[in-house]
Amino acid sequence: MSASIANDRGREELPGVSRRALDELAARLRAQVLLAGDCRYENARRVFNAMIDRRPALIVRCATAQDVIEGVNFAREHDLPLSVKGGGHSVAGNAVCDDGLMLDLSPMKGCNVDPARRAATVQAPG
């Protein structure tokens, strides 16, 4: 399953990043990819401290560890500032950056138990 980008204004939001690069990123992800103007963007960029009013150019709402890897690599390849939002409780607002890529780990709440191996894998965003 691949993500999609709901906003057609991607070139305006991310100078130096083509719409094609954004579409290719979305195709590699299970995550939601949000740009300003998407109806989910405002809620996704909010953190506990309401005084923080930063606006990332791109939000990747990660569903898997591979989404995290792809997001970090995309930010590095395109020289974008990167921030990571777990629970969004940092008083200083470190989870949100202006004009960069914010990885939102809050959707990662999965738990997988393998009784045969007596092992569990748990996602814990923050």
User: Could you give all domains of the chain from N- to C-terminal order, each with its CATH number?
Assistant: 10-122 (3.30.43.10)
* The pLDDT value given to residue 1: 41
pLDDT bracket for residue 126 (50, 70, 90): low
Q: What is the mean pLDDT of the chain?
A: 86
* Range from 9-23, 51-65, 84-98 carrying the lowest mean pLDDT: 9-23
Mean pLDDT across the stretch 82-103?
90
Backbone torsion region of residue 13, taken as left when φ is above 0, otherwise alpha when ψ lies between -120 and 50, otherwise beta: alpha
pLDDT confidence band for 122 (50 / 70 / 90) = confident
Mapped onto helix, strand or coil, the DSSP state of residue 123 is: coil
